[in-house]
Amino acid sequence: MKRGATLWPVAVGIGWRQPHYRDVMAGGMLNLDFLEVHTEDFLSPGGASRQLLMEATRRFPVSLHGVGLGLGSAIGVDPRHLQRVRALVDAVQPALVSEHAGFTRARHRHGIVHLHEPLPIPFSARGLSLLASQVDTVQQSLGRRILIENLGVCLAWDEDAIGEPDFFNALAARTGCGLLLDLNSVFVRALNRGLDDEAALRTGMAWIDGMAPAAVGQYHVSGHSRVEGLALDDHGGAVAEPVWSLYRHALTRIGARPTLVEWDHALPSLPVLCQEVARARREQRLLDRQLIAPPPPRPSSRLAPSRPMPRRTARAAVTTASTAVVPGDSLRPARRDGRDLPDQQSGLVAALLAAPGIGPTPLAPVGLRALSGIGGGLPRALRLYQAHASGRAERALSAVYPRLRDRVEADEPGSFASLAWACWRRHPPAEGDLGEWGKR
């Protein structure tokens, strides 16, 4: 049994996606150290997907990587979704559990919507306070340390006042959480600030230098694409050479950590994916062991394994963050430009769900901006997020109504995507499990 296994720092795995389910389970000489799956794909306790995952845990250590908790959401974490995640963690006993440093949930019209796309929170005192309180809530509920991943977003807030490394270091110091460094996201954000490849690489290395090694628990490496001067963190190709350079720098500066090759779209064959795994191992071997930073001592934390923490229900989980790292923060998101953070997040959601005749920009909240290097500015950045949501809506409905999709597309190619996007805008999902939306 591989459940509950601990990963070696040099472990390398892949994101296990549906097209590769059968190939991985068929056996053979797969030189993989672990599998990482999207948490929300396996929440249903009695389904075939859950059974498949449990079979996989008998062969591989498994890591759970989620997007549905929306830890930066000002309206809070959905207790029901957290309970389902906790049940999955109990069943799988994963080696690692991770989530994103963004918000996904907000009030819209007369209810709550879940966009299934991590959106940025401000790198400010109130953003740190909000994220820390909800990371604490989740860790108290799960009874274990989780890892928080940086985002490759193309939006930012005017109130950003804390550098990303300082923000994440403070988050880890306050909550005892670990950090998942997505090296491709670091590079993509630098590109979208208008830097060329060389300058973006230097900026990425400086970003890594600013991270506290003791807090880092995992690396993600992946590919990106470029369209008309915009870098897209789409995980749709082989790892780019500058990202491998950042990986080598991280090995030297921070040390070896479990590494995931993340390839989510336009998936290649499994052997091609395994070639990327082999490349990660070569990068590790190219560095003399004396040049790879040694593992640091574990940070002191109330979540340390030597002191098991009693479980608490999702609704009763308390926020017992340690002493403040950044002065002037408070649990209640303070006003800025006359608006609360919940209002600003709702405004961004409203912009992304805007009807075609209105467009997203007029509804965008005060203080939101695109990264400086994005041609077309905020309108283009918002349209990019809308395109992501449209694709997600199409995939969700296609999974539930494949025959309907085929018939609609046969009559008028492209019309099913338009139909799915219209459904998403008018009746957006309200839960972290996207499969629940597609079934309604």
Threshold 0.85, pTM exceeds: yes
pLDDT tens for the chain, 440 residues long, are 466 678 999 999 999 998 999 999 987 778 899 999 999 999 988 888 999 999 999 999 999 999 999 999 999 999 999 999 999 999 999 999 999 999 999 999 889 999 999 999 999 999 999 999 999 999 999 999 999 999 998 999 999 999 999 999 999 999 999 999 999 999 999 999 999 999 999 999 999 999 999 999 999 999 999 888 888 888 889 999 999 999 999 999 999 999 999 998 889 999 999 999 999 999 999 886 656 666 555 444 344 333 333 444 433 433 333 333 333 333 344 444 447 999 999 999 999 999 887 889 999 999 999 999 999 999 999 999 999 899 889 988 888 889 989 999 998 988 999 999 999 999 999 998 887 886 65
Query: Token pair of 349, please?
Result: 């959601």
pLDDT digits (tens, 9 = 90+) for 73-88: 999 999 999 999 999 9
Helix (H, G, I), strand (E, B) or coil at 369: strand
Residue 367: predicted pLDDT:
95
Sign of CA dihedral 361, 363, 366, 367: negative
Paired residues of 12 in beta bridges: 259
| Segments making up each domain of the chain, as ranges | 12-286
CA 315 to chain centre: 24
DSSP string, 205-258: HHHHHTS-GGGEEEEEEE--EEETTEEE----SSPPHHHHHHHHHHHHHT----
Question: Rounded to whole angstroms, how far apart are CA atoms 61 and 64?
Answer: 10
In CATH, the number for domain 12-286 is 3.20.20.150
Instruction: Say which residue the tokens 């059974």 belong to.
Output: 51
DSSP string, 31-60: --SEEEEEGGGG--TTSHHHHHHHHHTTTS
Please name the residues in contact with 80: beta carbons below 8 A apart, sequence gap of 6 or more.
314, 431
Please name the residues in contact with 315: beta carbons below 8 A apart, sequence gap of 6 or more.
79
Residue 323: predicted pLDDT:
32
C-beta of residue 181 within 8 angstroms of C-beta of residue 250: yes
Question: Rounded to whole angstroms, how far apart are CA atoms 347 and 423?
Answer: 20
C-beta of residue 4 within 8 angstroms of C-beta of residue 25: no
Residue 95: predicted pLDDT:
96
Residue 211: predicted pLDDT:
98
Q: What are phi and psi of 286, to 5 degrees?
A: -65, -25
Nearest to 59 by CA among 10, 97, 16: 16
Question: Rounded to whole angstroms, how far apart are CA atoms 177 and 292?
Answer: 23
Paired residues of 369 in beta bridges: 156
Paired residues of 107 in beta bridges: 112
pLDDT digits (tens, 9 = 90+) for 254-309: 999 999 999 988 899 999 999 999 999 999 998 866 566 665 554 443 443 333 33
Backbone dihedral region for residue 342 (phi beyond 0: left; psi -120 to 50: alpha; all else: beta): alpha
Q: State the pairing for strand pair 62-65/12-15.
A: unpaired
